[in-house]
A and B are shown apart, each in its own frame.
Chain A
């Protein structure tokens, strides 16, 4: 899983609650990404950031928000507007040519 950490490993969300998933990297990479993976599916891009203090929406950004205040950190908030948040969330950073992925956070709804 390279030098990327994600926490927590499991996260439970109550209805109407916002939750934040942590992603930290010590690889000195500029670009970072958040993906959502549903069972038996590929990865869908939520948000990405090419540089500190800048980020762009991906294909499925609705109901999610991010910040990129530090190069090492790219937290993802799943807001109450995301009606179907149950999924496996993967964070990645980009090296010279390839992406390095964290171990993932599984989000479950209570």
Chain B
């Protein structure tokens, strides 16, 4: 069961531009997390936002959460070529064991 779905599937921008990717989900959640995956590597946790939070910042990352629309967005400001990676959202549904579900990811390419 794949709850989170990222949009767009692919994003190509120039260095210095901002990159925005979105995540939609279907059921109530405790929290939503964003991960990054460089090609052929494991996932690295970026940021967590809880269901009672609306916005969170970490360095050049800004995450928003709209529980009424069941959606989240990840903004990377002043992108760098090193930001080239796939970005995934993972949702932790309310209740029960911690079994996060991942979307298909957004593939971001930042051209130098």
Q: Are the CB atoms of B102 and A42 closer together than 8 Å?
A: yes
Q: Are the CB atoms of B42 and A102 closer together than 8 Å?
A: yes
One of A40, A42, A45, A97 near B99 (C-beta < 8 A): A45
Q: Are the CB atoms of A103 and B104 closer together than 8 Å?
A: no
Q: Are the CB atoms of B42 and A101 closer together than 8 Å?
A: yes
Q: Are the CB atoms of B45 and A98 closer together than 8 Å?
A: yes
Q: How far is the CA of A92 from the CA of B45 in the complex (A)?
A: 11
Could you say which interface size class chain A belongs to?
20 to 34
Q: Are the CB atoms of A42 and B88 closer together than 8 Å?
A: yes
Could you say which interface size class chain B belongs to?
20 to 34
A75 close to B (CB within 8 Å): no
The residues of A that contact B41 with a CB separation of less than 8 Å are 1, 103-104
Q: Are the CB atoms of B48 and A98 closer together than 8 Å?
A: yes
Q: How far is the CA of A90 from the CA of B88 in the complex (A)?
A: 14
The residues of B that contact A100 with a CB separation of less than 8 Å are 45
The residues of B that contact A68 with a CB separation of less than 8 Å are none
For B9, the closest partner residue in chain A by CB is A40
A residues whose Cβ falls under 8 Å from a Cβ of B? 1, 4, 6, 31, 35, 40-45, 48, 50, 56, 58-59, 88, 90, 92, 94, 97-104, 106
